[in-house]
Amino acid sequence: MSLVHRALASRRAAPTRVMPPGSALTAALTSQAAHIAFQPPTQTGGIRSSRRSQKTFAFDHCFDSSEPGSARFASQEIVFSSLGKDILDNAFEGYNACIFAYGQTGSGKSYTMMGGHDSRGLIPRLCDTLFDRVADRSDPGLTHKVEVSYMEIYNEKVHDLLDPRGGKQSLKVREHNLLGPYVDGLSVLAVSSGQDIERLIVEGNKSRTVAATNMNSESSRSHAVFTVIVTQAPQRSSD
């Protein structure tokens, strides 16, 4: 079992991904008279800045995507194979699973999670594999239902990105005595394929709050939470 798979077998894992800096990021750093260098080894990342002393951070795994074409380049497929498949294994065993992408604007969160036209990210790959697994399940006594929700958190307010009525009504976060926290009134839509999910993501992204920053001309200004709910239940008898 690889290092990243051993880490994922525990309750939490904290991998990092190093992306090549874009022109906007380079310009922003230059204008601030700062130089940052990142050398991505296997487990520990070191950051050097002309303003501060060296900082060292430890991660469960480091995906080096800084140099396309290099022997150690971590593609979208490699990231998915290392992270996504174990997430699905846990989900089908009945455990809640979460991928939390954290980083400054322009660091590659959206690319890693969603991807682009020719390089799909974690979420679309996860969803396609999810439906492949559902189709491959041979137990005729079980049924599967897949539902999704998509919301953003902006200025401490929750908005439904899949609300068919449009608009941005603020929703309340409530507590259920059995299910725990939930968003009251959040749309939960049934889906039957990975294509259904990708279509809903595209529609939801149109409603996200965006604004230009020094590092990203169209930066999402909110936190987004995309949830996939898989329900496995015994097949009801027709008798």
**What are the CA-CA distances from residue 97 to residues 31, 38, 188, 228 (Å)?**
40, 30, 18, 10
Residue 107 annotated as part of some ligand binding site: yes
CB 91 within 8 A of CB 230: yes
Residue 106 annotated as part of some ligand binding site: yes
Residue 180 annotated as part of some ligand binding site: no
Residue 167 annotated as part of some ligand binding site: no
Q: Which residue has the tokens 């922003």?
A: 28
Longest dimension (CA), the chain: 75
Residue 108 annotated as part of some ligand binding site: yes
171-210 as b/e: b if 16+ CB within 10 A:
beeeeeeeeeeebeebbeeebeebebbbebbeebbebbee
Residue 54 annotated as part of some ligand binding site: no
Residue 109 annotated as part of some ligand binding site: yes
Residue 30 annotated as part of some ligand binding site: no
Q: Which residue positions form the known binding site?
A: 103-110
Q: Which residue positions form the known binding site for ATP?
A: 103-110
